[in-house]
Structure 1
Amino acid sequence: MSEQKPIAQQIEERFSALLLGLELAKQLSLCEPNEDQPAFATDSDGRQLLMVEKVARRDKKLNQSSHQSFLDQLQDRIQDEILIRLDDRLQDTEHLYNKLLGVHENLPDILDVMSVRAASIGRLEPLVATVSWLSTDLIKMINMPKYRRTNSKGKVIPVDNLRVALSFLGLENLKMVIPSLVFRRWIPQITDPYPSIKTRLWEQAIGTGLACKKIAQVCQLDEGHAFTLGMFHEVGKLVLTRLYFRLFDEVVRDAVHEAHEARMKEEHSALTELTPSGTGLLAIYDKYAASVSSRLIKRMDFRRVCIAPAMEEFAANLPVREMSPMGKVLRQGDAYNKYRMLKTYRLINMDEAKMYLRDLMMPAGALSLLKATDLRHLNLTFDEDQEAS
């Protein structure tokens, strides 16, 4: 009988599976499967099979098994080549930062300006204006039914001016709104055949950001820095996701060309059946994601938003007791949000949750505060007397 994995490893693997799809995560969270088999072979309507049908089905199954074995071998070869090329591409941090992630040159300055005590909308506006998509998204956001203003007669006041949009949101809200809009912009849009990746990566980022913000509040640390750290701590997964799907297409295309040139009809046909490997992508996440996030956050070269050292500690997987205060916030916020996401999808029980969270050294009062916190929405707050202009 195999030795049971530590609870933290079980939960991390289950959470990783959730990124690919709920059904896969459910399989990992189940107890022993039911291995009872029927005493005799039956078809889909329960009719007992004749011997000739049994033989025919057996032969079909063997042929399918042989073909699947061939596909599995090809998949392994494709994955090996992807890893070789991935190792090479990951060496170029500038390409990852500027091309794959697409960080605007003024983004670090925008976040830095918001974090200083003398921050003002006047200092922020010209920087935000240089990022055209961000300006557009902020104005669109303010005109959403949830946020738009009305005059004394109940008539909607449309906003088409960046200064007005920034003023209405206010600096404290913008410390959450801007990092979240940036992260959403970075999320890959094509992840077939795993469409849930986009949703889960967003839930992971926003939830960790909000959890870190609350824990930082308890610890009397900078809540804006903590939110940005939690929001950005998985940028490595965004880059790796883009890179993996591009490399899969590239490697398969090259393999198809080689098979065509060599007139290997069976291999040529089989290659067209392959799809990106979910387990292959998860293995890449596990090996590279945290370190790539650390490199990219360091590359942002913040002057005021002091989050790079904490991300470096997280990537090094230091024990909680050896981490800096902000490093602990990230470790705690990341783990707590994973617990909450698994709980939402009924993939963790209370005994598992207690064991998983027990060693995190959560500060006094943090768990009760987090329990009452919505980790899926920003829940912005506005002053009642705030003017729209």
Structure 2
Amino acid sequence: MPEQQRIIQDIEHRFTSLQIGVDMARKVTASDNDNADSILPEIETSGRQLLRVEKQAKRDKTLNQKHHQKFLDSLLEKLNREILIRLEEKLEDTELLYSKILGVNENLPDVLDVMAVRASSIGRIEPLVATIPWLNADLVKMINMPRYRRTDKQGKVIPVDSLRVALSFMGIENLKMVIPALAFRRWTPQITDPFPNIKTRLWEHSIGTALSCKKIAEIVELDGGQAFTLGMLHDIGKIVLVRLYFRLFDEVQRDAIAEAHAATMRDEHSALAELQPSGEFLKEILGKHGLAISSRLIERMDLRRVFISPAMHEVADNKPVAEMSDLAKVAAQGSAYSKYRMLKTYRLINMEEAKSYLKGFQMPPGALATLKVTDLKRLNLSFEE
């Protein structure tokens, strides 16, 4: 395998680990130099060597713990095999993933489409947004936040309680970013214990990708709004997989506990209750299915004015960057840059790796300099006075 391709694979693997947890990503990053299994000298306790009986008790306890952990690992492996069977069955049903697991409102694609029309207006957008209660409420709530609220000539805050006013204050160009971002927030799972930061990392990467895509698109003279939407939605497959995995884990664990109880297998019954979701298993399915599921879900949206589905297909198919269409290339570049920035934040990539990794995505002239000074953590909205 060529060196650059190997580095790209390593970085992608490292990044998927980061989305689950920093500790997992650090282990992956340091795996080549891992000396964790080296034998440490016996530690003295209270200034004396452990007595022989204490040493033996410690060894026995360690052996018992290892035996119990081995038993837990074998049960978890059985659970994951059953989860995989049920997962792959559900992944075949695009409508289930779209409507039930992700929960896309039937009118949301129409909202995205109408904003992409040149002759779009608040009057055309409002009736569609009004049919989506959560979006209506979130937009009004957002425009009343200290960062965005308006004041009158006397400096008094102008409270907004109407959707029409909220949309007018926001403006169409801002709405092209705000609505896809609010949708992504809405779909993101809230409870992912024992990996509580998955939702944060999914958001960080998607908003970072969307903002990077918008900047790169503007540099190469493509539609920034469509590039932003593609960047924002490119990882929705991972949202579906995370939701499904935790749901199926609970379901399969519950079934296994019931079976063990019925068969009076006390040890197994007790051990099954100790099991927690597997980060390694989750990482594997995210890497294997994430982009392909995103592509199918975006295709299911049946967007008529936001032409992002073909580009998402190319990204999901892992088409060589040199052979990609312009928009697909922007999506790949934006995603790669967002991954680099996040890995850099957690000190999980060095400069040599970063240079080689980004070089593989053929970033357009001036893009890296522009992105370096771009805030990729929040929407950069601009309002007319």
Which category describes the TM-score, using the shorter chain as reference length?
Answer: over 0.9
Alpha-carbon shift at residue 229 of structure 1 (Å): 0.4
Alpha-carbon shift at residue 4 of structure 1 (Å): 12
In structure 1, the residue matched to 2:94 is: 93
Structure 1 alignment gaps of length 5 or more: 385-389
The separation in 2 between residues aligned to 1:281 and 1:43, in whole angstroms, is 40
Please tell me the residue identity of whatever aligns with 1:22.
V
1:139-165 Cα shifts (integer Å, max 9, x gaps)? 111111111111111111101111111
SS at match of 1:259: helix
Alpha-carbon shift at residue 14 of structure 1 (Å): 1.6
Tell me, yes or no, if structure 1 residue 206 matches structure 2 residue 207: yes
Alpha-carbon shift at residue 47 of structure 1 (Å): 4.0
The separation in 1 between residues aligned to 2:112 and 2:60, in whole angstroms, is 64
Alpha-carbon shift at residue 48 of structure 1 (Å): 2.3
The separation in 1 between residues aligned to 2:4 and 2:362, in whole angstroms, is 24
Tell me, yes or no, if structure 1 residue 338 matches structure 2 residue 368: no
Alpha-carbon shift at residue 311 of structure 1 (Å): 0.6
1:136-195 Cα shifts (integer Å, max 9, x gaps)? 110111111111111111111101111111111111100000000000000011101100
In structure 1, the residue matched to 2:7 is: 7
Query: What are the residue-to-residue correspondences of 1:176-195 with 2, within 5 Å?
Result: 176-195=177-196
SS at match of 2:33: coil
In structure 2, the residue matched to 1:22 is: 22
1:108-154 Cα shifts (integer Å, max 9, x gaps)? 11000000111111111111111111011101111111111111111
The separation in 2 between residues aligned to 1:260 and 1:268, in whole angstroms, is 6
**TM-score where L is the length of structure 2:** 0.96
In structure 2, the residue matched to 1:289 is: 290
The separation in 2 between residues aligned to 1:44 and 1:115, in whole angstroms, is 70
Query: What are the residue-to-residue correspondences of 1:133-282 with 2, within 5 Å?
Result: 133-282=134-283
Question: Identity over aligned residues, as a percent?
Answer: 64
Distance 1:347 1:91, change over 3 A: same
In structure 1, the residue matched to 2:108 is: 107
Alpha-carbon shift at residue 37 of structure 1 (Å): 4.1
SS at match of 1:156: coil
The separation in 1 between residues aligned to 2:330 and 2:40, in whole angstroms, is 52
Distance 1:136 1:46, change over 3 A: farther
The separation in 1 between residues aligned to 2:380 and 2:237, in whole angstroms, is 26
SS at match of 1:272: helix
In structure 2, the residue matched to 1:387 is: none
1:219-263 Cα shifts (integer Å, max 9, x gaps)? 111111100000000100111111100100110111111111111
SS at match of 1:152: coil
Structure 2 alignment gaps of length 5 or more: none
Query: What are the residue-to-residue correspondences of 1:50-65 with 2, within 5 Å?
Result: 50-65=51-66
The separation in 2 between residues aligned to 1:99 and 1:179, in whole angstroms, is 19
The separation in 1 between residues aligned to 2:48 and 2:384, in whole angstroms, is 70
The 8 Å contact of residues 315 and 332 in structure 2, kept in 1 or not, is answered as yes
Please tell me the residue identity of whatever aligns with 2:100.
K
Please tell me the residue identity of whatever aligns with 1:329.
V
SS at match of 1:123: helix
SS at match of 1:149: coil
The separation in 2 between residues aligned to 1:43 and 1:258, in whole angstroms, is 46
The separation in 2 between residues aligned to 1:52 and 1:336, in whole angstroms, is 57
The separation in 2 between residues aligned to 1:16 and 1:152, in whole angstroms, is 50
Please tell me the residue identity of whatever aligns with 1:141.
M
Alpha-carbon shift at residue 12 of structure 1 (Å): 1.4
1:50-87 Cα shifts (integer Å, max 9, x gaps)? 22222111111111111111110001000000000001
1:81-102 Cα shifts (integer Å, max 9, x gaps)? 0000001111111111111111
The separation in 2 between residues aligned to 1:190 and 1:217, in whole angstroms, is 37
Please tell me the residue identity of whatever aligns with 2:150.
R
Distance 1:24 1:4, change over 3 A: farther
Alpha-carbon shift at residue 38 of structure 1 (Å): 3.9
The separation in 2 between residues aligned to 1:185 and 1:127, in whole angstroms, is 17
The separation in 2 between residues aligned to 1:326 and 1:273, in whole angstroms, is 47
Alpha-carbon shift at residue 375 of structure 1 (Å): 0.5
The separation in 2 between residues aligned to 1:46 and 1:192, in whole angstroms, is 40
